[in-house]
Amino acid sequence: MERWRKLHGRRLDHEERTRKRAAREGHKASQDAQNLRGLRAKLHQQKRHKEKIQMKKAIKAHEERNVKTADEKEPSTPMPSYLLDRTNPANAKALSSAIKNKRAEKAAKFDVPLPKVRGISEEEMFKVVKTGKKTNKKSWKRMITQPTFVGPDFTRRNPKYERFIRPMGLRYKKCHCTHPELGVTIQLPIISVKKNPQSPLSTQLGVLTKGTVIEVNTSDLGLTTASGSVVWSRYAQVTNNPANDGCVNAVLLV
């Protein structure tokens, strides 16, 4: 698209069409709000609620920046440096509000749908496997009783050196991902396990529990960035308990 634009340019009425499209967005949002039903209506209402909060914050910040106090006048006599800041408290207030808004935006960037999850004990996650011929059987092996993810080129180690056993029946390769803004669910391949909140060992072993952040292949969704390049992978958080449900459900972090 960019190459075509460089070679042939845009339509003559491109700016006018863009302006009209932007003007129609309000009507489309109103129509969607009136006609949507069920879960899509709830998601749309949550999105609009967040947008209105941000808009009110921005308006409030502009009002605080433009406000002028009664004491703010040009002094007839020179003032000492330690009294200069006292004449204009409105600027300090607007600055503190801007800093708070920036911090809130930064925190929202790393926000996840499930911020808190229940901890799982080692007895619930690992099962002791005893091995050896002798009377005192050694119990240094562990079998993982939770669903796991292993890469496509995974091969088991020699049983003599295998410390953690991941059963084949509990290995998952795909998950049902839901796009929160589009409201659609599609089955996507799992690329890797990014972070398991239970422990670093669970992350290393690829254990899939509730709240785990995974990386999924989003090439089938056709998502693109602002520059037009295709988004091949995105992070998602597991929202269900795969050990109970027999499948992995996740929400994309957009």
Give the CATH architecture of domain 122-252.
Answer: Roll (3.10)
pLDDT in tens, 40-84: 999 999 999 999 999 998 888 877 766 555 555 565 777 777 776
DSSP for the chain, written as a single string: -HHHHHHH---TTHHHHHHHHHHHHHHHHHHHHHH--HHHHHHHHHHHHHHHHHHHHHHHHHHHHH---TT----SS---GGGTGGG-HHHHHHHHHHHHHHHHHHHHHT--S--------HHHHEEEEEE-SSSS-EEEEEEE-S-B---TT--PPPTTT--EE--GGGB--EEEEEETTTTEEEEEEEEEEEE-SS-HHHHHHTB--TT-EEEEE-GGGT-B-TTS-B--EEEEEE-S-HHHHSS-EEEE--
pLDDT at 88 over 60: no
pLDDT in tens, 156-206: 999 889 999 999 999 999 999 999 888 899 999 999 999 999 999 999 999
- pLDDT at 63 (0 to 100): 79
- pLDDT at 89 (0 to 100): 57
